[in-house]
Chains A and B, each alone.
Chain A
Amino acid sequence: MEPTTTVTAVSTEPAGESGQSAKVKDWVSYIQKDLPAHLHWWPYTLGAIPLALFGLLVASGLLLTVYYVPSPEKAYESVEQITREVYLGWFVRGVHRLSVDLMILFLFFHVIRAFVTRAYRPPGELKWVAGALVFFLILAMGFTGYSLVYDNVSYWGMTVVTGMIGGLPIVGKPLLLLLRGGEEVSAGTLLRLYDLHTKLLPLLLGGLVLGHIVAVRLLGFAEVEGSRGVHPFYPDHTLTMGAIALALLVLIVDLVMIFPPTLGPPADLQNVAGDVSPPWYFSAPYMWITLLPGAVSLWSLLGAAGLFLVYPYVDRALARRGWPMFKVNALVATVVVLLATILMILDEYM
Chain B
Amino acid sequence: MEEPTNDPAGKPNGTLNFTRYVIGGLCLVLFLALTGVGYLKVEERREGGLRPFVSAENKRCIDCHIRKDVAIGGINDWKISAHAPKGIGCVECHRAEKGEADAYEHEGSLISTLVTPKDCMRCHEKEAKEFAKSHHAKAAQFIGSLDNFLGNVVEGPEVGATGCAGCHGSVVKVMENGKLHPATWPNSGIGRVNPDGSKGTCSACHARHSFSVAQARQPESCGRCHMGPDHPQIEAYYESKHGVMFSANKDKMKLGQPTEKWLPGKDYLYPTCATCHMSATGTQDTTHDVGDRISWTLRPVISTRLENHEVRRKAMTQVCSSCHSAQIVERFFTQMDSGITLYNEKFGKPAKAAMDRLRDMKKITPTPFDEEIEWVFYELWHHEGRRARHGLSKMAPDFIHWQGFYEVAKHFYTKFLPLVRELSPDVAKELLAQESHKWVRQGMTKEEIAQMLEFYDKELQGKRGGG
Contact = CB atoms under 8 A, between A and B. Distances in A.
Contacts of B10: 6, 231-232, 236
B20 interface: yes
Interface residues of A, number: 32
Nearest to A246: B26
Contacts of B23: 239, 242-243, 246
Given A88-B38, A257-B36, A247 B9 contact: no
Nearest to B22: A243
B37 interface: yes
Nearest to A232: B10
B66 to A, nearest CB: 10
Contacts of B16: 235-236, 239
Main secondary structure of the interface of B (DSSP, over half): helix
Interface in B19-70: 19-20, 22-23, 26-27, 29-30, 33-34, 36-38, 40, 42-45, 51
Contacts of B29: 250
A247 B8 contact: no
Main secondary structure of the interface of A (DSSP, over half): helix
Given A236-B11, A236-B16, A253 B33 contact: yes
A91 interface: yes
B445 interface: no
A243 B26 contact: yes
A257 B40 contact: yes
Contacts of A246: 23, 26-27, 30
Interface string A1-28: 0000010011010000000000000000
Contacts of B44: 84
A200 B101 CA distance: 62
B33 A84 contact: no
Contacts of A9: 7-8
A90 interface: yes
A231 B27 contact: no
B61 to A, nearest CB: 18
A242 B23 CA distance: 7
A216 to B, nearest CB: 20
B23 to A, nearest CB: 5
B7 A10 contact: yes
A260 B22 CA distance: 27
B33 A250 contact: yes
A246 B22 CA distance: 10
A253 B37 contact: yes
A230 interface: yes
A91 B39 CA distance: 11
A250 B32 CA distance: 10
Contacts, number: 75
A268 interface: no
Contacts of B15: 236
B59 to A, nearest CB: 11
A229 interface: yes
B5 interface: yes
A90 B44 CA distance: 11
Contact of A6 (B9, B37, B38, B45): B9
A247 B26 contact: yes
Given A240-B19, A250-B30, A34 B9 contact: yes
Contacts of A91: 37, 40
A191 interface: no
Contacts of B33: 250, 253-254, 257
A6 B26 contact: no
Contacts of B42: 83-84, 90, 260
Nearest to B37: A91
Interface in A122-157: none
Contacts of B7: 6, 9-10, 231-232, 235-236
Contact of B43 (A10, A84, A249): A84
Interface string A72-93: 0000010010011100101100
A90 B29 CA distance: 20
A240 B36 CA distance: 27
Contacts of B51: 77
Contact of B11 (A77, A231, A253): A231
B58 to A, nearest CB: 15
Interface string B196-217: 0000000000000000000000
A253 B37 CA distance: 8
Contacts of A256: 37
A242 B10 CA distance: 17
A220 B285 CA distance: 85
Contacts of A243: 19, 22-23, 26
Contacts of A10: 5, 7-8
Contacts of B36: 257
Contacts of B30: 246, 249-250, 253
Nearest to A89: B42
Interface string A233-263: 0011001101100110110011011001000
B37 A257 contact: yes
A250 B26 contact: yes
A84 B46 CA distance: 9
A231 B11 CA distance: 7
B466 to A, nearest CB: 66
Nearest to B44: A84
Interface string A273-316: 00000000000000000000000000000000000000000000
Interface string A166-182: 00000000000000000
A165 B185 CA distance: 55
27 contacts: A6-B8, A6-B10, A9-B7, A12-B5, A84-B42, A84-B43, A85-B45, A88-B38, A90-B42, A91-B40, A230-B9, A231-B7, A231-B10, A231-B11, A236-B15, A236-B16, A239-B16, A239-B20, A240-B19, A243-B22, A243-B26, A246-B23, A246-B30, A250-B30, A253-B34, A257-B36, A257-B40
Closest 4 CB pairs of A and B: A246-B26, A90-B42, A239-B19, A253-B33
Given A84-B43, A231-B9, A247-B26, 20 more contacts: A6-B9, A6-B10, A9-B8, A10-B5, A12-B5, A34-B9, A84-B42, A88-B37, A229-B9, A230-B9, A232-B9, A236-B10, A239-B23, A240-B19, A246-B26, A249-B30, A250-B33, A253-B33, A253-B34, A260-B42
